[in-house]
Structure 1
Amino acid sequence: MSSIPFYAKKFVSGINIEEAFAVVERLNDKKICVTLDLLGENISEKQQAIKFVDEYDILLKKISEKKLDCYVSIKLTMLGLDIDFDFCYNNLSQIMRIADHYNIRVALDMEGSDYTERTIVIYERAAKEFKNIEIVLQAYLVRTEDDVKRILAANGRVRLCKGAYKEPPEKAIKKMSQIVENYKKLIQKLLLEGQRICIASHDDDIIDFCIEFIEKNNIPKDRYEFQMLYGMREKTWSRIREKGHNMTIYVPYGDQWQAYYARRLAERKENVFFVLKNLFKS
């Protein structure tokens, strides 16, 4: 398909780098940072992974050339995590060498719980070699409190989100009120002890809590940022930025948009209502 249909265009910036960069430049004009996500995951052939590595290499170089306020997010299954651990790490290392050369951040997106441990192990190893690596943790997983300690012991650079994958009750907190409370508990420790903390949430309760905590504890602005998904609550982005806080928008692009769009609705049924609600919420 050569273009994004109207119903997905709100959430996916485009098919190619040029379309994605047009969105990045518009957001940069509003003093908003972007993390770009080239769509793709769970590949089964090494050549597919190598192709993604090449695309990320080009992406990083073009971000540097255009001097954009932008970094990138990557899923390790698109680099071959399902194929071979060392193959995946070598692919990530190639990307990280270029990212460090241009001083561009790279965030390891967190996938389902079957990948959590392997993703953290790769992050811990990469954090010893590369300066610009960071990772995503999910507040609804039971294990995340222990994982926070591991990230703080590595380089303390993390994005905390609630979590969206469908998980069994022995692995994940199910009640939203309890997820929110766990998020608040974890984010306090991260903001006090972390090096760069990304507060990824559309929840007003969490956003207000974090702003109050940041101001009360005089957390330096270069140690945190708020994050939201492209297409969600644009007026809220602007309000947070106008209050003097760093704001980053997660912007996906690529020809595999359909899988991304469908999965985001299907991962948890709550997401369907969340997306519909946020179509009309600012």
Structure 2
Amino acid sequence: MVLRDFFIYLSENKLLNSAAQKYGLKMGAQSVVAGTSLPEVVQSIKELNKANISCTVDNLGEFVYEKSEATAAKNNILAVVQAIHDEQLDAHISLKPSQLGLDIDYAFCYENLKEIVELAYQYNIFVNFDMENYERLHSSFELLEELHKEFDNVGTVIQAYFFESEENIEKYKNFRLRIVKGAYKEPENVAYQSKGDIDRNYLKLIEYHLLHGKFTSIATHDHNVINHVKQFVKQHNIPNDKFEFQMLYGFRKEMQLDLAREGYNFCTYLPFGNDWYGYFMRRLAERPQNVALVTKQVFNKNTNLAIGIGAAAFALGRLSKKRK
């Protein structure tokens, strides 16, 4: 848990996030980010589609407290929706309500979300609400419920470390859901703290939604979980069109291809943009084993895995200070 807390700390460090936007791509961030421009993202999607892999596209963004930033993010996402339609890509949208203004004004955020969801609805494109930390959890669910009154192309994420997730997965069983373990540091009065408890609840939530839910996206890089799901769906005669496996862009590439070749629905979570640092650190916090999956691509091959991450954070901080 110490390593997990370290990565979460890094993800929330505004100085490092800012420095990463300036220097990250030079350090190899392109290994985990599918481009910084729309044409680059479209090309990345096309390449994955050729391998029978669909994509969910995330326009990266952190610490949005100005309406102008939220509006710019909305316009970027609208452009992605339009490109998915125009290019006839096998892809959908993942977004964070905070990036669209949730921390500024609820009504403002709702209008931004509605504009995105409405355009996506016209093109039959799904929009997934990525869940963030606990203080934003219930307002994000409220936004989802409000938009679902008009549009049926919305879904969300259930995080296994929250105590209330078992209740929420039943409440939202008629939604398309992505099941994850959770990637923020949450207090012990609202969330499980031990890996064992989180892992057990994760499998319980997956099994419940596979049996009772609309559609299940199983977001994991853990081959043990994947093998468990394969056996579970076989035992319960759950058809392939009721679920998919999801992994992050740049992680376990061969396993992604193998699952697609085996005939399973597979979706790659495709982040793009310069604001990659907080996203990447939370992915490492979510499962520190992920360090071993990407560090060789992002840092020097001979660098110790954990030291490599810490050294990169230190370097980014130093670079930022020199620029001031």
Q: What TM-score, normalized to structure 1? A: 0.92
Question: Aligned-pair distance for 1:142?
Answer: 1.1
Matched with 1:74 is: 95
Query: What code does the residue aligned with 1:207 have?
Result: I
* Aligned with residue 215 of structure 2, among 186, 193, 196: 196
Q: Retained in 2: the 8 A contact 1:142–1:173?
A: yes
Q: Retained in 2: the 8 A contact 1:140–1:182?
A: yes
Question: Aligned-pair distance for 1:188?
Answer: 1.0
Matched with 2:293 is: 278
* Aligned with residue 106 of structure 1, among 120, 127, 133: 127
Query: What code does the residue aligned with 2:205 have?
Result: L
Secondary structure at the counterpart of residue 4 of structure 1: helix
Matched with 2:162 is: 141
Matched with 2:253 is: 234
Q: Retained in 2: the 8 A contact 1:41–1:75?
A: no
Question: Aligned-pair distance for 1:6?
Answer: 4.5
Mark the runs of 5 or more structure 2 residues left unpaired by the alignment: 1-21, 297-324
Question: Aligned-pair distance for 1:225?
Answer: 0.7
Query: What code does the residue aligned with 1:121 have?
Result: E
Comparing both structures, which one devotes a greater share of its residues to helix? 2
* Aligned with residue 184 of structure 2, among 157, 165, 186: 165
Matched with 1:48 is: 69
Question: Aligned-pair distance for 1:144?
Answer: 0.6
Question: Aligned-pair distance for 1:116?
Answer: 0.9
Q: Retained in 1: the 8 A contact 2:156–2:175?
A: no
Question: Aligned-pair distance for 1:262?
Answer: 4.4
Within 2, Cα distance between the matches of 1:120 and 1:204? 30
Secondary structure at the counterpart of residue 172 of structure 2: helix
Question: Aligned-pair distance for 1:255?
Answer: 2.2
Q: Retained in 2: the 8 A contact 1:3–1:14?
A: no
Matched with 1:116 is: 137
RMSD: 1.8
Mark the runs of 5 or more structure 1 residues left unpaired by the alignment: none
Query: What code does the residue aligned with 1:15 have?
Result: T
Matched with 1:14 is: 35
Q: What TM-score, normalized to structure 2? A: 0.80
Q: Retained in 2: the 8 A contact 1:138–1:162?
A: yes
Identity of aligned residues (%): 36
Matched with 1:57 is: 78
The farther-off stretch of 201-210 and 24-33 is: 201-210
Question: Aligned-pair distance for 1:77?
Answer: 0.4
| Greater relative contact order (CA < 8 Å, ≥ 6 in sequence) | 2
Number of residue pairs matched by the alignment: 275
Within 2, Cα distance between the matches of 1:226 and 1:237? 9
Matched with 1:38 is: 59
Q: Retained in 2: the 8 A contact 1:108–1:135?
A: yes
Matched with 1:132 is: 153
Secondary structure at the counterpart of residue 213 of structure 1: helix
Query: What code does the residue aligned with 1:98 have?
Result: L
Q: Retained in 2: the 8 A contact 1:156–1:193?
A: no
Secondary structure at the counterpart of residue 214 of structure 1: helix
Q: Retained in 2: the 8 A contact 1:41–1:76?
A: no
Query: What code does the residue aligned with 2:61 have?
Result: G
- Distance verdict in 2 for CA 1:221–1:19, change over 3 Å: same
- Distance verdict in 2 for CA 1:261–1:23, change over 3 Å: same
The farther-off stretch of 64-73 and 164-173 is: 164-173
Question: Aligned-pair distance for 1:2?
Answer: 9.0
Higher-Rg member (1/2) = 2
Query: What code does the residue aligned with 1:180 have?
Result: D
Within 2, Cα distance between the matches of 1:200 and 1:264? 11
